[in-house]
Each structure stands twice: as structure tokens, then as C-alpha cells.
Amino acid sequence: MKNYFLTILVLLIGVISYAQENSILNDTVNLDEVLVKATRVDKKAPFTQNNITKQEIEERNLGQDIPILLNYLPNVITTSDAGAGVGYTGIRVRGSDATRVNVTINGIPLNDSESHSVFWVNMPDFASSTQSMQLQRGVGSSTNGAGAFGASLSLSTNGIKDKAFAELDLSAGSYNTFKTNVQFGTGTLNSLGGFKAEFTGRISKIESDGYIDRASSDLKSVYLSASFFNENTLIKAIAFGGHEITYQAWYGIDAETLKTDRTYNPAGEIYDDNGEFVSFYDNQVDDYKQDHYQLHINHNFENDWIANLAFHYTYGRGFYEQYKNDRDFSDYGYQPIIVDGELINTTDLVQRKWLNNDFYGTTFSLLKNFDNWSLIFGGAYNKYDGDHFGKVIWAKYGSEMINDKFYDNTGVKKDFNIYAKADYSIDENWSVFADVQFRKVDYKVNGIDEGPSNIEISDKNNFINPKLGVSYFLDHSNFYLSYARANKEPKRADYLANNNVKPETLDDFELGWKYKTNKFLLNTNIYYMHYKDQLVLTGSLDDVGNPIANNIGNSYRLGLEIESAINILNNLQWQPNIALSINKNIDKYAEFDGILQGFGNTDLSYSPAIVVSSNIVYQPIKNINISLLSKFVGNQYMSNIEHENSKLDSYFVNDMLVSYELQSNKLFKSIKFSGMLNNMFNVKYVSNGYFYTYDDTWSDPNNITTITGAGYYPQAKINFLLGVTLKF
């Protein structure tokens, strides 16, 4: 594979050399920044936000997923199933999990329509094709896709570059982790019909054994774009996709195994007829492909109205394969069989659960800047059509089951939204912001579910989401106050777990102060998020590792977030942040030990009261940067009843990043060396887990006892990544 990349690179050098001779050497074209303007907010807007530049992305981009690259932002917690940031990764913001973080790419929704989650593993190394990111904590401004209950993350893909380029990125590290990446661009070329053109591409491959046993990842991806533009119009076509094969690592381990063998992975265990462990199944993998296509048309009219129109299509297909021990025939819709005169009720088997889906639609926006105010109209219409089915591909007994679907159902979701935003400057000190969105969601599921059993879901929701804010500017300060409402429909798993599940509502109040000088930056924010019928994580998982949530009535989050950047010396900067919060269920009731019990005002699950991050950046000499990154996460519960067995202990980890860039005028424009030492003090910590309960009705039916248990996802101890970037 590495030879393949090198061959591609040699061919590209020739293409780039030609393009350099024919390119137009002007400043970088920024037309495509408008593609994300409708779903982002200005730095002066009355919302809590972080903006991440291309340079900041590149600093730590050695093969880990985007959530891991965002780990040191305020009130952010990340985790990795495989333990080292490659493969399945997750993110929480203000205690809200990834299904409640709205993600868009160039304004187009990325969250899966049914699970609401984002599977970054399906698009490995996408950070290399990302120009910028904006993370809005809380509800934020209106965007496309599922409602933002924890945050919204807007990604913009690479912008148009004037000059031709080629890059080769190589990195390697612990757990046999390797990344190979080739990027190229033609630069701006003369074209026909008054338009200029630019073409870019990327090919990536990432491999890792993972920290957890057999938690391997084999990831491939590609990114291509073609831009045609003049002074007023941009037409940009983008295609990107990925293929991931990961050995399953979503089962977790119990508390005893965490003490004795923290890298143990129970996935794929095979037992004999006596219940004795035999071996592990080799192909207990998740195998999925996802292709994305986007077409963007942007035009700046003579009256300064700017129009954006985009069309998109995503095709996903794949399966996860599992070895199942001693499964009942009835679970697959079959009767027991007779073998050699003996009635056989169960069998060992291998099953594949498939997902085949299409997601397509359009997004649009219209922008206008007046003397003292600006106006944005926007919206989207999207449709998702997903097939869920399962097949048995091998069985010890019952060969008639093989290749027969034991469940088969279809989910169809239509999502329409339209919004209007206005920002008005009253005078040089005061400005107001108003935003209102209407969203209509229609979701239906029909067919046969596992069991087997009939499944039928039909739900329609109409949501109105208003936002309002005011800002006051004085010298170096910006004070703001905002209110935003969000409504969110349940996920597929929520519908399946509870027939009476309801949509949830969030009212978010934000009060902030931003202060900035040449040597000092301070952002402080107080937030109060009040929920009605919040769907909070119970701590339990379904059979594919997805979290299960239930409506809980009233709950709230009250927090203080402070972040700063301090230039201590000309070559020494400190970037600390801290988040303090109270996250409570109000009058929590739950069934425990066979009776409904009141637990009072309990902590919301997965919501630590304190999260602290720090980044100390030192530049001893030109072109050398040394960063010490630190993260502390306080105690948290995986349940909503504060059960001691559901407690995740606090942890404090430190990473070190060193980079050196060597400028050259010969074969390479520059050579950059990077090294990252993760968890440098070798801390044994757990960033995620799950909690489950079940009632023991066998021991004493008249005295039911609730049995509890927990699973844990340990993260890697000390490990490293080394990389080199060659720019032509």
C-alpha cells in the first residue's frame, strides 16, 4: 500500500509542476467561506463559541479522529473504544453525548438520521481536508439537521488555493499505528467562459492494532474537489468517502477485569458445549463504507445579496459480524430441530447485521449586509431511507437459516427546516440578534425487528425554535446575553425502548463576557439549560453499543465556563480553561428493588461537575514549538440515581506535542517533524462506560432485588505518535 501511495505521489509531482506554471498567483480565494456563513456565528455574536483554524488542526493531526483533536476545548470530554483515538471515538459537550451534538459539513447535516450520532470512523483522516471548525456550546444559532442540545459543530472543507501543491504525510506510533496521506492541488487555473478552476485531492490510509486487545482498525478514505469560479460565482463539487474495518471493541469490561486485565476484549469469545472458553472469532468486525457527494452553487448578486444552494447525497452500506454462542432457534423465527433423534433447541452461529441507506436533499441560504444590520434566510429539506436486516452466514445446526433474513425493516425520515436570522447594530456599543427556525420531522419504521417481532413507528413533529440575544461593546470588552430554545425528536433506539417516548425541549440562557487585548484573552460564560422531558442516558447500551435514553421530566444544567490565553513571554503562552457545573434531575423517581423510589435531585449521568484543560505553548527558537496539554475530568455517574456502582472516577492526563518545521528552497518547500507523547505520566484511567440493572425474581419472588453491573472502556497508558510532512 505504501508503494501505491509513493507511485501516486510521483505522478502528482508532474501534475503539480505543470499546474504551477499555469496557475494564477494571487491571494488565496476565500469565496467558499460563504458556504458555512449561514450556519455559523460571528465572533461578536451573543453565543458561546470556539473557532479552530487550519493551522490548529494540523498541529495535532497525526491520525486520531476529530473528537480527539477537540479534546482540550472548554467543557469537552472525548473517549475511544479502542483506547488510543483511532477507530470508534466519541465526544461529550457540557455532559451531552454525541447524539446531541449537531454536526454539519459545509452546512450539510452529517448526523445519522436515525441514531443521531456521527461515526467519524466512516470518514477517517477527514481532519486533513478540513479548513476550519466552529464549536458552539449550548443551543447556538439555527443550523440544519437534528437539534443541538449540547453543541453544534460546523466543519468547512479545504478552501481554494492559488498555488499548486503536493504533500505527503507519514506517521507511526504505538500499537502499530500507521498513517499515510497524500494530498495535491492544481492551484488556480485559467479556464473557459470567464471562469477559473481549481482541483484538489487526498488519499489516506490508517492502520492500528488499538490499545484494547484485537481492537484493530483498517481505515481508508479519499477526498476530491473541483471548483469553478469568477468574481461573483462559485460552483464547487466535492466527493469524499471512507471504508472502515474495525474489530469490535464496544463491549467494555467489568470492574474485576479492569483491575486484572484492563486491555481484555470479550468480543468474539467462543465457548464449547460445556461452557469452556475455546478461542476468539477472527472476523468479529464492523465493515462499513460511506460515500458523500456535495454540489455547492454560490452567487453574489449586484445588489449584494449572496445566495447559496447545495445538493447532497450520501450512500452508506455495511454490516457488523458476530459469533453467537448457544442461540435459541426461536430468536431467529425457527423451530427446534431433531439431530440423531435428539431435540436441538439452540445452536452456535455467525450473524451479520446490515445497514443500507441513502441520505439526500438540499440546503439553501440567502444573505444580505445592510449599513447597520445583516439578514440571513436559510433552510434545508432532507430525506433518509435506511434498510435494516440481518442474516445468518454460518450455523452449527439449522443450515436452513443460512442467508435467510431473520429481521428486515425500513426506516424513512423526512426533515424540513427554514430559518431567518437578523443582526442589528443599534450604535457603536449595542447590537441585537434574533433568530427563529421552523422544523418539521416525519419518521416511519415498518417491518420485522429482531425477536422476531413486528415493528411499526410513525411519528410527526413540528418544532419552533426561537433565539434572541443582545451584545454590548466597550473598549476591549464584549458583554452578551442570549436565550435559545431547541426541540429534538427521539432517536430510533428511544422509540424501540419506550412506546411512550416524547420529544424533548431545552431552554438555554447564556450570559458572557469577552475581553481581548494584544497579550491577553478572557472568555467567561454562565449558562442555565432547563430541559423538559430530557432524554438522558440510562447508562445501558443496546446490542451494538449505542446508549439507551429515557424521558425524565424536568432537569437542568447550571455552569460557569472560563477560558483564557495569556502571553507570558514573547515565546511563551498559556491557554487554560475550566468548566464548573451543577447538572441535576429534579425529583428523580425510578423503579428499584421492585418498587418505585424517589431519589431526590440527582446528578445527570455522564456530567462531571468540573472539567479543566490547559495548553502551555513554548517556542524556544524559530520553527520549534513545544506544547504541554493537560486535562482533568471530575467524578461522574453513569446512572441517574447516583448508584455507587455507576461511578466513574476522576482522572488527570497530560500530553506533550513537539514540532519542528524546516524551510527549504530545493525539492521540498518545507519538511515538518511532529511528535506526540500521550498520557505521558502513564495514568490508568477510564473515560467512558455503561451501567445496567435487572431484577432478580428467582431467588425470592416476594422480595425482588435489583442487581447492578457496569462496564468500562479503559484508555491507553503512555503512548506516542511520530510524523513527518513533506510539502512540494
What is the DSSP track for 75-97? Answer: TEEEEESSSSSSSSEEEEETTB-
Task: Tell me what the mean pLDDT of segment 34-43 comes to.
Answer: 82
Instruction: Please give the pLDDT value at position 547.
Output: 65
Instruction: Please give the pLDDT value at position 638.
Output: 95
**pLDDT interval class at 701 (50, 70, 90):** confident
C-alpha cell at 609: 461537575
Please give the Cα distance from 117 to 244 (Å, whole number).
17
H-helix or E-strand spanning residue 583: strand 572-585
H-helix or E-strand spanning residue 10: helix 2-22
**pLDDT interval class at 693 (50, 70, 90):** confident
Looking at per-residue confidence, does 145 or 349 come out higher?
349
Instruction: Please give the pLDDT value at position 517.
Output: 92
pLDDT digits (tens, 9 = 90+) for 327-375: 999 999 999 999 988 999 999 999 999 999 999 999 999 999 898 999 9
Instruction: Please give the pLDDT value at position 9.
Output: 39
**pLDDT interval class at 18 (50, 70, 90):** very low
Instruction: Please give the pLDDT value at position 544.
Output: 55
Model-level pTM?
A: 0.92
At 110, give phi and psi (nearest 5°): -110, -30
Please give the Cα distance from 135 to 139 (Å, whole number).
11
Helix, strand and coil percent figures for the chain, each rounded to 5: 10, 60, 30
What mean pLDDT, rounded, does the chain reach?
A: 91
**pLDDT interval class at 545 (50, 70, 90):** low
pLDDT > 90? residue 412? yes
Instruction: Please give the pLDDT value at position 231.
Output: 86
Task: Tell me what the mean pLDDT of segment 53-61 comes to.
Answer: 91
Instruction: Please give the pLDDT value at position 540.
Output: 63
Please give the Cα distance from 528 to 505 (Å, whole number).
14
Please give the Cα distance from 105 to 130 (Å, whole number).
9
pLDDT digits (tens, 9 = 90+) for 243-263: 999 999 999 999 999 999 999
H-helix or E-strand spanning residue 615: strand 610-618
**pLDDT interval class at 177 (50, 70, 90):** very high
Instruction: Please give the pLDDT value at position 39.
Output: 85
pLDDT digits (tens, 9 = 90+) for 662-678: 887 678 889 999 999 99
Instruction: Please give the pLDDT value at position 16.
Output: 36
Residues whose CB falls within 8 Å of the CB of residue 527, separated by 6 or more in sequence, listed in order: 48, 94, 137, 138, 508, 509, 510, 511, 557, 558, 559, 561
User: Locate cell 424517589: which residue?
Assistant: 598
Please give the Cα distance from 697 to 703 (Å, whole number).
8
Residues whose CB falls within 8 Å of the CB of residue 64, separated by 6 or more in sequence, listed in order: 84, 85, 86, 89, 721
C-alpha cell at 412: 424513512
**pLDDT interval class at 200 (50, 70, 90):** very high
Least confidently predicted of 295-299, 309-313, 394-398, 547-551:
547-551
pLDDT digits (tens, 9 = 90+) for 554-583: 899 999 999 999 999 999 999 999 999 999
Query: All domains of the chain, ordered by start, with CATH?
Result: 2-727 (2.40.170.20)
Task: Tell me what the mean pLDDT of segment 498-522 comes to.
Answer: 93
Least confidently predicted of 124-138, 185-199, 460-474:
185-199
pLDDT > 90? residue 26? no
pLDDT cut 90: percent of the chain above it: 78
Task: Tell me what the mean pLDDT of segment 423-452 comes to.
Answer: 95
Residues whose CB falls within 8 Å of the CB of residue 488, separated by 6 or more in sequence, listed in order: 100, 146, 147, 149, 503, 504, 506, 535
How, if at all, do strands 269-271 and 277-280 pair?
antiparallel
